[in-house]
């Protein structure tokens, strides 16, 4: 993956984070926020794709395996070597897809308990 693509991804994440953090706060008095209601259950299904921001998935390494043996007075030796390059998550897997559901239960006008289940799947890329 080129440095330019990595920088573009990081820039996109920073811009998105800036938009989220700089958004005006919304109060419940504006009528735009749903407060929990005691005894009320709400269900929130969701679906989407996940993306990676950065980091190494597999570090570069190389290894040589050797085996030596003697058969009928003759010495035989064999070796096997391999190299693995640095790989990011996106080099190994396609973008993961996820679906899930979240359940919320209002305990009072200002408190709720919630839990959810998520299923995520990413297909592997050949390398």
Sorted by sequence, the CB contacts under 8 Å of residue 77 that are 6+ apart come out as 66, 67, 68, 69
Number of domains in the chain: 1
Domain assignment present for residue 84? The answer is: yes
The 10 Å Cβ neighbour count of residue 106 is 19
**Residue 23: its pLDDT value, please?**
47
- The pair phi, psi for residue 90, each rounded to 5°, is -70, -15
Domain assignment present for residue 127? The answer is: no
Average pLDDT for residues 80-106, to the nearest whole number? 86
Domain assignment present for residue 126? The answer is: no
Domain assignment present for residue 41? The answer is: yes
Q: The domain containing residue 70 runs over which residues?
A: 3-121
Digit-coded pLDDT (tens) for 13-26: 665 555 555 445 54
Domain assignment present for residue 8? The answer is: yes
Mean residue pLDDT of the chain comes to 77
Domain assignment present for residue 42? The answer is: yes
pTM confidence score: 0.46
Domain assignment present for residue 61? The answer is: yes
């Amino acid at each position: 993956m080129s440095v330019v693509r990595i920088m573009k991804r990081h820039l996109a994440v920073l811009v998105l984070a800036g938009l989220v953090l700089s958004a005006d706060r919304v109060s419940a008095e504006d009528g735009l926020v749903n407060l929990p209601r005691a005894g009320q259950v709400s269900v929130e299904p969701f679906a989407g794709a996940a993306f990676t921001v950065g980091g190494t998935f597999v570090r570069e390494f190389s290894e040589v395996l050797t085996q030596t043996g003697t058969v009928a007075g003759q010495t035989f030796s064999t070796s096997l070597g391999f190299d693995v390059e640095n790989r990011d998550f996106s080099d190994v897997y396609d973008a993961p897809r996820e679906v899930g559901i979240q359940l919320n239960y209002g305990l009072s006008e200002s408190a709720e308990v919630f839990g959810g289940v998520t299923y995520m799947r990413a297909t592997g890329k050949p390398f």
